[in-house]
């Protein structure tokens, strides 16, 4: 689900060979079963019923966060998943409302690529379904060692059957900070289908949302971008509060 646009190429002063079709979490390993209980598998459906997928993560019993480029005609959130072939303990919940960032533009997938999903019914917290805390506006120092997990596509161009994860180290790039992104680079990182998953760092908070991968012309390492959650906390908090108030008003 990675998109490569000229704007970010200019931002990072890179030249691309063309669209990159990445595989599964690159260089990663299978996560311990249900060790990431906040993870959500997001199915997206278009009007013809075709299905694709992104990842997301549970914020509370009502909301999941993902990337804005994961918008579709309708969505279904799967919680409590490790192996997609197994349905025991899994919660399938449709999405009632989508809230892409107000400044997101689908012709520019690299800026403001963040979206909230309001569930049609409340998630039931269990050992395998739990929310994750978000980094706050005060968390301004650059985390060094973080982890990304997801069900990105495998080499056979199919969804990974089990949750994969990989460690990434963020790099201090002025260009990334300027556009409210974290960046990592190297041969390991998220791949196609991992969009919308969380960047989780040492304090176990979600610091970023998986957005894109850029592959340079040369032999330079890939660059992975993550939308910087601390920069969007005011928008996140106000959006969830207003959506909840609106829902309560309709129920009265």
Q: Are residues 139 and 226 in the same domain?
A: yes
Q: Are residues 89 and 73 in the same domain?
A: yes
Which pLDDT belongs to residue 19?
32
Residue 75's DSSP bridge partners are 44
55 occurs within a structural domain:
yes
Question: Are 229 and 57 in contact, with CB atoms under 8 Å apart?
Answer: no
Lowest mean pLDDT among 23-32, 130-139, 189-198, 214-223: 23-32
251 occurs within a structural domain:
no
pLDDT category at 49 given cuts 50, 70, 90 is confident
Mean pLDDT of 38-61: 94
Q: Are residues 50 and 89 in the same domain?
A: yes
Place of tokens 């991968």: 213
Q: Nearest Cα to 111, choosing from 33, 181, 188, 18? A: 181
Lowest mean pLDDT among 57-61, 84-88, 142-146: 142-146
Phi-psi domain of 27 (left: phi exceeds 0; alpha: psi -120 through 50; beta: other)? left
Q: How far is CA 159 from the centre of its chain?
A: 16
Q: Are residues 214 and 237 in the same domain?
A: no
Q: Are residues 141 and 199 in the same domain?
A: yes
- DSSP assignment of 131-182 equals --PBP-TT--SPP-EEEEEE--B-TTSSB-SB-EEEEEEEE--HHHHHTTEE
Q: Are residues 200 and 238 in the same domain?
A: no
Alpha helices in the chain (DSSP H): 6-12, 174-178, 233-251
59 occurs within a structural domain:
yes
Question: Are 30 and 50 in contact, with CB atoms under 8 Å apart?
Answer: no
Lowest mean pLDDT among 28-37, 67-76, 146-155: 146-155
Domain that holds residue 176: 6-29+133-230
Q: Are residues 121 and 238 in the same domain?
A: yes
Q: Are residues 65 and 147 in the same domain?
A: no
Which pLDDT belongs to residue 187?
78
Q: Are residues 25 and 139 in the same domain?
A: yes
In the numeric block, which tokens belong to residue 105? 């533009």
Which residue of the set 55, 75, 110, 113 is catalytic? 113
The whole-angstrom separation of Cα 16 and Cα 138 is 35
Q: Determine whether 69 is an active site residue.
A: yes
Lowest mean pLDDT among 57-71, 107-121, 225-239: 107-121
Which pLDDT belongs to residue 11?
39
Global pTM reads 0.87
The whole-angstrom separation of Cα 218 and Cα 107 is 26
169 occurs within a structural domain:
yes
In the numeric block, which tokens belong to residue 194? 């991992």
Which residue of the set 69, 75, 82, 101 is catalytic? 69
Q: Are residues 154 and 193 in the same domain?
A: yes
Q: Determine whether 113 is an active site residue.
A: yes
252 occurs within a structural domain:
no
What's phi and psi for 99, nearest 5 deg? -130, 80
In the numeric block, which tokens belong to residue 18? 């063309």
pLDDT category at 1 given cuts 50, 70, 90 is very low
54 occurs within a structural domain:
yes
Q: What is the pLDDT of residues 122-137, one digit of tens each?
A: 999 999 999 999 999 8
Please say if the pLDDT value at position 16 is more than 50.
no
Q: Are residues 121 and 80 in the same domain?
A: yes
The whole-angstrom separation of Cα 175 and Cα 192 is 23
Which pLDDT belongs to residue 250?
64
What's phi and psi for 165, nearest 5 deg? -150, 155
Which residue of the set 160, 195, 211, 212 is catalytic? 195
Q: What is the pLDDT of residues 132-152, one digit of tens each?
A: 999 998 887 888 789 999 998
Mean pLDDT of 74-84: 97
249 occurs within a structural domain:
no
Q: What is the CATH number of the domain that holds 98?
A: 2.40.10.10
Q: Are residues 188 and 125 in the same domain?
A: no
The number of distinct structural domains making up the chain is: 2
The whole-chain average pLDDT of the chain stands at: 85
43 occurs within a structural domain:
yes
CA dist 169 → 102, 140, 186, 189 (Å): 30, 16, 9, 9
Which pLDDT belongs to residue 136?
93
């Amino acid at each position: 689900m990675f998109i490569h646009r000229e704007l970010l190429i200019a931002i990072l002063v890179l030249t691309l060979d063309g669209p990159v079709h990445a595989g599964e979490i690159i260089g990663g390993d299978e996560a311990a079963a249900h060790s990431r209980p906040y993870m959500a598998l997001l199915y997206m459906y278009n009007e013809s019923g075709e299905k694709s997928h992104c990842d997301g993560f549970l914020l509370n019993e009502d909301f999941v966060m993902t990337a804005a480029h994961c918008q579709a005609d309708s969505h279904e959130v799967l919680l409590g998943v490790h192996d997609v072939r197994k349905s025991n303990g899994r919660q399938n919940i449709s999405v009632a409302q989508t809230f892409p960032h107000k400044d997101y533009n689908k012709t520019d997938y690299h800026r403001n690529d963040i979206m909230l999903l309001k569930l049609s019914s409340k998630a039931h917290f269990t050992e395998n379904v739990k929310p994750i805390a978000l980094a706050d506006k005060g968390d301004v120092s650059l985390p060094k060692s973080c982890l990304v997990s997801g069900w990105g596509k495998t080499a056979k161009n199919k969804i990974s059957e089990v949750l994969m994860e990989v460690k990434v180290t963020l790099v201090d790039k002025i260009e990334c900070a300027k556009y409210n992104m974290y960046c990592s680079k190297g041969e390991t990182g998220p791949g196609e289908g991992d969009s919308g998953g969380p960047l989780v760092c040492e304090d176990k908070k979600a610091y970023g949302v998986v957005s894109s991968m850029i592959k340079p012309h040369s032999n330079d390492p890939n660059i992975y971008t993550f939308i910087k959650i601390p920069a969007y906390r005011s928008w996140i908090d106000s959006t969830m509060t207003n959506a909840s108030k609106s829902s309560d008003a309709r129920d009265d």
